[in-house]
Structure 1
C-alpha cells in the first residue's frame, strides 16, 4: 500500500523513530510498525496528524508514491503569515535585510519586534497591493550586480508561482538567504534549481520544503552602474534558452549518476 510505503519513507527521511512518531500520535510503537507493514491503517484523526507532521496532504499520502515520484507541488497554501512593518498611518514600509542581518533574519522573520528593528524605507512607483522587502546581496555570483546591491523583492505566497528563468530571493533552511535565477521543477521532483548569472558558479538544487520565503526581484539599488560591455551583462532570451537546455542536460546527468 502507498500509505505504508510513504509513511516509512517520510519517517526515515526526517530521522524520526517509530517511538517518537507513536508519541506524537498518542499510540503504541507497535501500531506505527503495523502502519508501515500495511497490517493496519491509521484512523482519520491520526492520518490528519501524520499529514501535519510531514507537511503533506492526505491525498498525497494515500495516492502518490513519494519515494519514486518525489513530492507533488508543495505549499499550495501561503508559505506563512507574512510579518510586515507599518508606520503610524498603517502604511507598509520596505524592511531592509543587510548582509550582516541575514543570519538573524532566518530566526527573526516571523517576529514583529525583530522586523521593527530593521531599517525601513519606502519607494515610489511600486504596486501598492504587494508586500516588498530589500535584501543586500553578497558575493559575485549574480554579476553584473555587485556585492552590496539591494534587491527589492515582492512577496510570493506559493512556490508554484515561481516562474522558471526569473530571479528571486529565497530564504531557506539549508542555504540561508540567497539571490539566484530559479528554475521550477517542483512538479517533477519537488525541487528548485538555482542558477547564478556568473558562469563560474555551478547550479545546484534545493528541496521545495526547505524554502521559507520567496521574493520575486522587482528592482535593485546600487552605487555601481553595470557596464554594458562587461562579459557578465544580464542574460538575454537566447542566453536563457541555452541555460534551460544546459540545465536539463545537467538534470539528466544527475539522475543517471544516481541510478
Structure 2
C-alpha cells in the first residue's frame, strides 16, 4: 500500500495563474474579497487549509477546476493546453464543467448518428450537452462506420468549401483531443455564443488559437481562441444531391499542361 502523500500544487498554481494574467496581488485579492496578506500566504503555501469558498472562488475566477488547481502543475503545461482548460476542456475535472458529449443509442445500445439540421443550429449550441435535446434530433444508420467512435451529420452552408457543394451532408467524427488534428484537417467547428457552425480546414496553433481556412480562395483564413470553440468534428465523408459538373475547357487545358510538365521533369531526370 502506498502511503505517500500526494503532491499539492494549489499554492504554486495560484501564483502562476495570477502572474500569467499579469494581475497584482492587491488587484486579485480585491476581486476575490481577500486581504492581500491572505493571498500572499496562500501563494506561499503557508495556509494549509484554505476555506472551501476560497477554492470555489479561485476556480471560478481562473475558469479551471478545483481538481486541476490541486493536482496538476500548470506551469508545466503549454499555452494551448492552458487555453483548453480555461475553455472547459478540462480532462482532470470531476464536476459539471467537463465538456461532456451527449449521445443517444438504439435498442441494441449502439450509438446513433444524429443529424443536426440547419433549423436546429441555434438550439444545438445551447443544448449540445443536453441528452434530451440530442435524443430529439433525427437519427440515421450509416454502414461501415467504426463502432468505437462517435459520429454526427451536419449540413454545409455557403460556398466557402467548394468544390464541396452547399447543402452537402458532412459526416464527421467527434474529436476529444484537438491536439491530434494535423495541419489543415477538414472539420466542422462549433463556435460559442452567436457565432455559427463552420466547415473549414482546421489547424491548432501553438499559441492556443485555432486557424480556420476555406477551400474556396475567395475567403480569407481567420483564427479563433480555443475558449471560443465548443466542439470539433473531423471530416469523415459527405453526401450530396448535386451531380459534379464536367471540367471546363480551361480546367482541361490546365490539367494537360500539368501532365506535360510532369513528363518534362521525368525526361530531365
Do these two structures clear the TM 0.5 threshold for a shared fold by scoring above it? yes
Q: In structure 2, what is the Cα distance between the partners aligned to 1:151 and 1:201?
A: 20
Structure 1 residue 133: deviation in Å? 0.2
Q: Which of 187, 207, 214 is the aligned partner of 1:196?
A: 214
Q: Deviations over 1:24-54 (max 9, x none)?
A: xxxx33349955xx99547577686535642
Q: 1:6 aligns with which of 7, 10, 17?
A: 17
Task: Tell me which moved more, 46-55 or 152-161.
Answer: 46-55
TM-score computed with the length of structure 2 as normaliser = 0.66
Q: Distance in 1 between matches of 2:228 and 2:188?
A: 14
Matches within 5 A, 1:12-161: 18=28, 22=32, 28-31=33-36, 34-35=39-40, 40-41=43-44, 43=47, 49=56, 50=58, 53-55=62-64, 57-58=68-69, 61-62=74-75, 70-72=79-81, 74=84, 75=89, 77=91, 80-161=99-180
- Tell me, in whole angstroms, the C-alpha distance in 1 between the residues paired with 2:189 and 2:138: 20
Q: What is the CA distance between 1:96 and its match in structure 2?
A: 0.5
After superposition, what is the alpha-carbon deviation per residue over 1:155-199, rounded to whole angstroms, capped at 9, x for unaligned? 1111111221210111121533211101121xx211110000011
Rg larger in structure: 2
CA RMSD of aligned residues (A): 3.5
**Aligned partners of 1:203 and 1:120: how far apart in 2?**
33
**How has the CA–CA distance of structure 1 residues 44 and 165 changed in structure 2, closer, same or farther, with 3 Å as cutoff?**
farther
**Alpha-carbon deviation of 1:227?**
3.6
Indicate whether 1:207 and 2:225 are aligned.
yes
Higher relative contact order (CA 8 A, sep 6+): 1
Give ranges in structure 2 of 5+ residues lacking alignment: 1-11, 93-97, 252-269
Unaligned regions of 5+ residues in structure 1, if any? 23-27, 233-259
Structure 1 residues 44 and 226: alpha-carbon distance in aligned structure 2, compared to 1, 3 A threshold? farther
